[in-house]
Amino acid sequence: MKLSDLGEFGLINRIRKLSRTKNSPALVGIGDDAAAMKLSASHVMLVTTDLLLENVHFDLSYTDYYSLGWKSAAVNLSDIAAMGGSPRSCLTALGIPQGISADQVFEFYRGFNYLLRTQKTTLIGGDTCSSAGGLFISVTAIGEAKQSQIITRAGARPGDRIFITGTLGDSAAGLELLQLRNADCGLRNTKTKRRNIKPEIARLVEKHLRPVPRVDWGAKLAQSHCASAMIDVSDGLSSDLFHICEQSRVGADIFVDRIPVSPALEKMSSKLSKTPLHYALAGGEDYELLFTVPPSRLERLHSLNLPLTEIGTITARRTPRLVGSDGSSRRLLPAGYDHFRKDAIRPGKR
Ligand code: ADP
Ligand code: MG
C-alpha cells in the first residue's frame, strides 16, 4: 500500500492499532495532542514530541535561527496547551548538517530558551548528531495537569458550541509572502533585513515564524472546566476540527461568516493567490486553540474574558459542514497539511 493512499492520519491510525497493548501506562495514548500518564493520585504528566525538518517544515533561506528555535519550542508547548496542561520541561535532539556554524546553533537556543522562559519551562536534555541531509530538529515537551482537568479531543457532544481563540490563516499567508519574496512587500532580502516592511506583512510573517502557544488560555479553560474537547490548530481548521469530530464521534456546522481573520490578512489578500477563508480553513500553523463548550457552561466561559469567537455547533450528524450566510451548506473536508497526500499547502521550498 502506498503512503499517499493512506495519508498521514491513516498511517497514524494503523500505527495505533499495531501498537495496542493491554498494559499501556497511558490514560491518553496515540491520537491526542499529548499522551497523559498518571503522576500522582490527582495529577498527570503530559508528553508530546514534534519534528521540524529543513525544507519540509522550514526553509533556512527565509527563517533566522532565533525564530527557528522559538518556533520549535512553541509548536511543542502548544500541544501541552491543547490538553489544558502547563509545560514544565523540554528535550531537544538535533541533526546538524555541515555548513551550520556554532554561532547559528547558539542563536537557535537563544530563541528556544526565550520562548521556554516565557512559559516557565526549562530545557533538561537532548541529543546532538551530525546530519548527512538537512537540519533535523526533534523536540519533546513534558507538562503537568490535574487529571480532572485534562481536555482531550474526544469529549464534544451534539449541541456544544465551537470556539476558536485569536484569528486564523495569518501563518499560512505569512509563509506564502516569505516564499514569494515579493520586493513590493519588502521581503526580497529576508532574515536580517526586514526593515521598512508594512505592518500587516510584518504581522503575518511574525505569526508564521514566531507563533505564541496559547498556554495561559488553555490552562484557564481547563481550570474552569468550560471546554468539553480541545485541539490546537496546527494542520488547519478543517483538518483539526475533523480530528475532534472523529475522536468524539460527532459532526459540526461551521458558519463561514464567523471564522475570524485578521485585518492584516484581509488587507493582504489582494497580493496573495487565495482568499482569506482558504488560508483560515486549510492553512495551518496558527497554533490557536479550537474547543467545544456545552451550552450550560457558556456563561462561565464568557466570564473568563478570553479573545474568542464562536464559529459553530457540534451536531449528531457525523459529517462536518460549512454553512453559508444564506443557510446553504457543503461538506467540510479536511484540507489541511498532510505529509503524504500531495494536495495540501506545503511549507518549505516550492
Ligand atoms: P499534533 O498535530 O497535535 O502534533 P499529530 O497529528 O502529530 O498531532 O499526531 C497525532 C497523534 O498521533 C499524537 O497522539 C501523536 O503522538 C501520535 N503519533 C504521530 N506519529 C506517530 C508515530 N509515528 N508513532 C506513534 N504515534 C504517533
Ligand atoms: Mg496538536
Chain segment 115-154, per-residue pLDDT in tens: 999 999 999 999 999 999 999 999 999 999 999 999 999 9
Ligand 1 atom at minimum distance from 232 CA: 3
Rounded distance from Cα 326 to ligand 2 centre (Å): 33
| Shortest-distance Cα residue to atom 22 of ligand 1 | 12
Alpha carbons 135 and 193: distance in angstroms, whole number? 23
- Phi/psi for 232 (5° steps) reads -95, 150
Residue corresponding to grid cell 472523529 = 246
| Closest ligand relative to 239 C-alpha | 1
Rounded distance from Cα 287 to ligand 2 centre (Å): 8
For range 155-174, the mean pLDDT: 97
| Closest ligand relative to 141 C-alpha | 1
The set of protein residues with a Cβ atom below 6 angstroms from ligand 1 is: 12, 15, 30-33, 50, 79, 234-235
**142-173: string of b/e by CB count within 10 Å (b at 16+)?**
bbbbeeebbbbbbbbeeebbbbbbbbbbbbbb
125 vs 180 pLDDT, higher one: 125
Alpha carbons 92 and 191: distance in angstroms, whole number? 24
Closest CA to 87 of 96, 97, 78, 98: 78
Summarize pLDDT for 78-119 with one digit per residue, the tens. 999 999 999 999 999 999 999 999 999 999 999 999 999 999
| Closest ligand relative to 139 C-alpha | 1
Rounded distance from Cα 236 to ligand 2 centre (Å): 11
Report the share of the chain in percent with pLDDT over 90: 80
Summarize pLDDT for 25-41 with one digit per residue, the tens. 899 999 999 999 999 99
